[in-house]
Amino acid sequence: MNKIEAIIREEKLDAVKNTLAAAGFVGLNVVHVTGRGAQRGVVHTVRGGETIQIDMLPKLKVELVVKDGDTEKAIQIIIAAARTGNIGDGKIFVSPVTQVIRVRTGERGEAAI
């Protein structure tokens, strides 16, 4: 099992959520994050011509745990829904999950996802 953490643009949440759900990936978390990528935020020119650097930008983190065999499919769905082709489209992190337990039934592993 893997945890997929996808940092996406806020306006892409509905598209990501809906296309994931349509493929059977229903359970997930959405967390508001602030962060920066390779460009270290953005530079705005304000009135008078001075520039201000906004270091940390608001993004959303979509977090879901999937079966090993579903991992690539979920990644491709997220990319297709979240991508604009411009800088700041986000990033996807994948890490192993050793156990999942459904509290109600005690089921474990992939059956509990």
State yes or no: residue 7 binds ligand ATP (CB under 6 A). Answer: yes
Which residue from 35, 71, 92, 97 is in contact with ligand ATP, where contact means CB under 6 A? Answer: 35
- CA 87/CA 96 separation, integer angstroms: 28
Largest CA distance in the chain: 63
Of residues 1, 2, 38, 23, the one with CA closest to residue 80 = 23
State yes or no: residue 41 binds Mg ion (CB under 5 A). Answer: no
Q: How far is the CB of 35 from ligand ATP (least distance, A)?
A: 2
Which residue ranges make up the site for ligand ATP (CB under 6 A)? 7, 33, 35-39, 57, 59, 87-91
